[in-house]
Amino acid sequence: MPGTPVFSAQLPGTPLGTLKIWATWDGIRRLTFRSGPDLAAPGERLATEPAPAHLGTTLEKLVGYFEGTVRDFRDVPLDLGSLTTFQLQVYDHLLTIPFGHVTTYGAIAEALGVGAAGARAVGQAVGANPVAIIIPCHRVVGSDGTLHGYSGGLERKAKLLRVEGITVDGIRPSSRVHPDEPQLPLWG
């Protein structure tokens, strides 16, 4: 049967709703925020054999992330399909942003040597990230410290930042992000 075999699994009940994770034999291919039928992308076919172990391990790590026990996914194998060299450079950089920290599109552009003018291209690559959370695109904010945008929706971006202990004022593009103001648990 032609096409790359893909496997899917769902993780219901997260603070973001149900997550759907797709994998190949080589690694995690995409993560979506939509539940529904398992549909393979063009060039793929739904596999009928048992899923590779890294799919189950990734689900466990995502549970741990939302419980606060997992802080990064750098050991998760990825199979991102065909991406541009620039997208891969951006995603590699995103993997270096620590849990509980944020950076800006412009800072990533500068780090990659494309100058501040490359911030828009960085934003496009970030917006096309096929494995949100695993490659932490939610940790990128506007140069003015605002949420700016998120392909999964600003409410989800704000929730992800809050999971990491970052204060966020709201869920609008102009909502301020305060990475230096830790969210302290209530005492009493």
Active site residues: 137
Residue 141 and residue 107 in contact, taking contact as beta carbons nearer than 8 Å: no
Residue 21 and residue 11 in contact, taking contact as beta carbons nearer than 8 Å: yes
Helix extents (H) in the chain: 53-67, 85-94, 105-111, 119-127, 154-163
Residue 109 and residue 116 in contact, taking contact as beta carbons nearer than 8 Å: yes
Distance, CA of 34 to CA of 18 (rounded, Å): 7
At residue 139's C-alpha, the angle toward residues 179 and 91, to 5°, is 150
Place of tokens 């973001």: 16
Q: What is the DSSP string of 36-76?
A: S---PPTTEEE--SPPPHHHHHHHHHHHHHHHTS----TTS
Distance, CA of 22 to CA of 30 (rounded, Å): 5
